[in-house]
Amino acid sequence: MQFFNELSKKDFIKEGIIYKKKITDITTKKVTDFYKVAPFPNYKLNDNKATILEKGDRNFLSFEFKKFIGYKKNILEVGCGTGQMSSYFAIGTNNYVVGFDPTIESLKLASDFVEKNNIDNVEFINADIFDDVLKKDFFDFIWCNGVLHHTKDPYGAFEITVKSLKKEGFILLGLYNKIGRIRTIIRRYIYKIFGKFFLMLFDPTLRNLKKSKEEQLAWIRDQYTHPVESLHTIDQVLNWFKKNNIEFINSIPPSDFELNELENVFEKRSIGNKFSRLLNQIFMTFGSLGSDGGLFIVIGKKNNF
């Protein structure tokens, strides 16, 4: 529990989960109530260390992130849900991983999995990010992918999150793109008319990657019926970085016109200009990222001054 500002008298630990404060915020409760029905991304019945490693290794970003982390590092996953990514970052390493999420039903699945599979270097905390419970300058790496656009104040949540990042630490931030998510938004409205059959034809992620009924339900709910969602741009995130002393490292889609955008993703890259950033975000609607809900990634490093 070294990652807390301090423990209050109301904090307690039960079944491997650290409970900070009762969730009272209206927007956060709306989100937690939503995920109670179908925790995301959920597990298959046969999931174990090997299957989690296999899934993580197949995901370019998680594989590169874990490889870049190295060893003996403190890692925070914001919005860990059912904890697969937190477990993936912990398995086979001596890193210390903290999974943070406001939905207790999701964390119970995460805690049960790590206990069953003897993963002892990951802990889960049940709290609202706006409670600001994490110690400043503690984590070497923060993974915050597909989370802040489901909060009442994405920038406020980002500002709180990066306080816990060490100097020279890295953050990977993933948000729904204002342009790149157009295809998903169109599919959302058609889904209301034609249902799941339409999505199986036109959503490649659902069709190719979500095999079980549980995974399919979780994906459909997360992408097409979520009660809280905001859209963002790379330039908006760059402004967030500037306000919080975070140096731009890289982005997907890229911010410049160089090729090989998926190579050496954690190496410093040109920030490009407004035109290059806008054009690459427009290309998202035609490229592979558009099939994954229009999620864009920006990686930053906390400056040492």
CATH number at residue 109: 3.40.50.150
The percent of residues in the chain predicted with pLDDT above 70, rounded, is: 91
**Of 222, 244, 275, which one is at a domain's C-terminal end?**
222
Note whether 144 and 254 are same-domain residues. Answer: yes
Domain total in the chain: 2
Question: Omega before 204 cis (within 30°)?
Answer: no
Note whether 153 and 76 are same-domain residues. Answer: yes
Closest CA to 23 of 102, 134, 110: 102
Note whether 68 and 205 are same-domain residues. Answer: no
| Greater pLDDT, 215 or 120 | 120
For 244, list phi and psi in degrees, rounded to 5. Answer: -120, 20
Note whether 283 and 210 are same-domain residues. Answer: no
Coil vs helix vs strand at 65: helix
**Of 200, 222, 244, which one is at a domain's C-terminal end?**
222
Note whether 60 and 193 are same-domain residues. Answer: no
In a domain, 1, yes or no: no
Average pLDDT over residues 259-270: 80
In a domain, 4, yes or no: no
Q: Of how many residues is the chain composed?
A: 305
| pLDDT higher than 90, residue 177 | yes
Note whether 31 and 69 are same-domain residues. Answer: yes
pLDDT, position 213? 78
Note whether 47 and 113 are same-domain residues. Answer: yes
Note whether 33 and 61 are same-domain residues. Answer: yes
- Give me the helix-helix angle, 60-69 and 49-58, nearest 10°: 100
Amino acid at 163: K
| pLDDT higher than 50, residue 113 | yes
Note whether 173 and 190 are same-domain residues. Answer: no
pLDDT, position 8? 47
Note whether 191 and 289 are same-domain residues. Answer: no
pLDDT, position 267? 92
Is the model's pTM score more than 0.85?
yes
Mean pLDDT of the chain: 89
| pLDDT higher than 60, residue 291 | no
Domain that holds residue 281: 12-178+230-302
In a domain, 298, yes or no: yes
Q: What CA–CA distance (Å, rounded) separates 16 from 64?
A: 28
